[in-house]
Structure 1
Amino acid sequence: MIDALYISSTGLRSQQEQIDVISNNVANMQTPGFKRGRVNFAEVASSPMSGDAQLSGVSHGGGTRVASVSQEFASGAMQPTRGPLDLAIDGNGFFELEDANGNRFYTRSGRFHLDDQGYLAAVNGMRLSAGLQVPQGASDILVSAAGELSALLEGGEERTVLGNVELALFTTTEGLESTGDNLYRAGSRSGGAVMAIAGEGGSGRLQQHYLEAANVDMIDEMTGLVLAQRAYQLNARVLQASDQVLETINNLRR
């Protein structure tokens, strides 16, 4: 009975984590480039049973635990927008951002704007690591499918190429570490980022005036939520039943 208490408690903790991840997925359904989280469960180390079962090598499980929470990097749908600097990646690449301290982060969200110095920056204020800058007074900014950034400069009649939006590729996306705010950083398993021209090496081509939608499916999330809630309730019942049995045993000893 004591084992039943511990096993049910591990189930409660694991299902609570599952519900939290599903809730976060649903809350970010409208976040461009968001990748849904997935809880990976593992069995708690089992212990041998006593008596004849122990001699036969039969063991019972010790419950469950959350081994990890990973992201599924399947592409979301391409949604047209009116933003002149909205970019979507039709492939496996990532935008590489750089903070004020020189740290590099990666995202699939392509909602950019020009900061006060004319640099292409994300909504969080981080600039593209390539340091692309648009001169003041420039107009008709275009980003080609290959990432070429061009504009009509003030007083000019021909387009001027200002640089290229490069995309980052990794050995495996499973090794990327989430830092929150729809950002990731390279981990030991993902390896370092390899920069590529858009459209080469599987990085994907860019689509201006589009944003990649979150890859969250409401039906899948609601189904998972129902299952997680039911599992939570069943574990709670096991906990209550074990407590009642222990109470009965305790009363018998009196």
Structure 2
Amino acid sequence: MDSITSILASGLRARAESLDIAANNIANSGTPAFKSEFERYALYGSQEAIASNGGPEFTGLSPDLRQSWINFGQGNLERTERTLDVGLEGNAYFATEMPGGKASDNLLTRNGSFQIGTDGQLKTKEGFKVKLTLPDGTALAPGFRLDPAQSLDIDRLGVIHQNGAALARLDLVQPPDNAQLTKSGDSYFAFSDSAALRRATGAEVHQGWLEKSNADPIQGGIQLVKISRQFEMLQKALQLHGEMSKRSIDEVGRV
């Protein structure tokens, strides 16, 4: 494959990957606490291309989508009036425990659409247990349960009250750097070093509210159109280059 074809093919691949990211943002514009993504590119040149085109000064590099960039910006809070909906304001995450998983498998989320299971545990809609502590931040006693039959109140600090008693507190955490988080599903994040997580400070908890997605469907639609046009232009360029190469071969053959 010649260098021009390689570059155009890489561009088509990069635009296809961008299209997937933009479509996913639009699809999740209604997912609570979803964080939108954007493409981040680096330039790539294969060793073969560099060696055959003048060494390390070769500039015919191809775009390579190394990693998408996550927009961790705060989504708007929307009032739901549902007691077990909890919105976060500030840099904080709910810590969850996956069923039967190791501590390293546990995930973080800002989606506070919760439920109380028949076992008395506060859980996400996917069934992951939401980590709680005592109101003073120390560990809960084994066998702690909330009463599913009783209503509960959650204050701005995340302390859970039932029957007028402060029973537990949402274990709100934050990583040293949000850039260290990787997506795991639509509204969950994985963090490789759970020991480095620290208790969130300055965040406020809002019962009866949910954080909305920060993906803008209008901007997403505009982005889809732009990427589609770029894809079409690259396709036409690749087709034109193929026709010119064929014509050159035919002309050489006549000579």
Shorter chain as denominator, the TM-score bin is 0.7 to 0.9
Whole-angstrom distance in 2 between the partners of 1:44 and 1:137: 59
CA 1:125–1:136: 2 relative to 1, 3 Å: closer
State the match for 2:191 in structure 1: 186
Identity percentage of aligned residues: 23
CA 1:11–1:191: 2 relative to 1, 3 Å: farther
Residue by residue over 1:107-128, the C-alpha shift from the partner in whole angstroms, topping out at 9 and shown as x without a partner, is 0100001111121100000011
User: Residue 48 of structure 1 contacts residue 60 of structure 1 at CA under 8 Å; is this kept in 2?
Assistant: no
Counterpart code for 1:173: N
Whole-angstrom distance in 1 between the partners of 2:61 and 2:51: 10
TM-score by length of 2: 0.85
Secondary structure at the counterpart of residue 117 of structure 1:
coil
Counterpart code for 2:174: L
User: Residue 131 of structure 2 contacts residue 171 of structure 2 at CA under 8 Å; is this kept in 1?
Assistant: no
TM-score by length of 1: 0.86
Gaps of 5+ in 1: 153-158
CA 1:18–1:126: 2 relative to 1, 3 Å: same
Secondary structure at the counterpart of residue 60 of structure 1:
coil
Q: Are 1:176 and 2:195 matched, yes or no?
A: no
Total equivalences in the alignment: 237
Residue by residue over 1:127-154, the C-alpha shift from the partner in whole angstroms, topping out at 9 and shown as x without a partner, is 1122773125323x100000110012xx
Gaps of 5+ in 2: 134-143
Q: Are 1:167 and 2:172 matched, yes or no?
A: yes
Q: Are 1:195 and 2:199 matched, yes or no?
A: yes
Residue by residue over 1:149-177, the C-alpha shift from the partner in whole angstroms, topping out at 9 and shown as x without a partner, is 0012xxxxxx1111011211111111111
Q: Are 1:150 and 2:150 matched, yes or no?
A: no
Greater share of helix: 2
TM alignment of 1:89-100, pairs within 5 A: 89-100=88-99
CA 1:127–1:58: 2 relative to 1, 3 Å: closer
TM alignment of 1:224-235, pairs within 5 A: 224-235=223-234
State the match for 2:136 in structure 1: none
Let me know the Cα RMSD of the aligned residues: 2.3
Whole-angstrom distance in 1 between the partners of 2:79 and 2:145: 24
State the match for 1:71 in structure 2: 70
Q: Specify which of 124, 131, 152 is matched with residue 129 of structure 1.
A: 131
Secondary structure at the counterpart of residue 82 of structure 2:
coil
Whole-angstrom distance in 2 between the partners of 1:35 and 1:68: 15
CA 1:83–1:69: 2 relative to 1, 3 Å: same
User: Residue 160 of structure 2 contacts residue 170 of structure 2 at CA under 8 Å; is this kept in 1?
Assistant: yes
Whole-angstrom distance in 1 between the partners of 2:195 and 2:73: 19
CA 1:216–1:136: 2 relative to 1, 3 Å: closer
User: Residue 25 of structure 2 contacts residue 217 of structure 2 at CA under 8 Å; is this kept in 1?
Assistant: no
Greater share of strand: 1
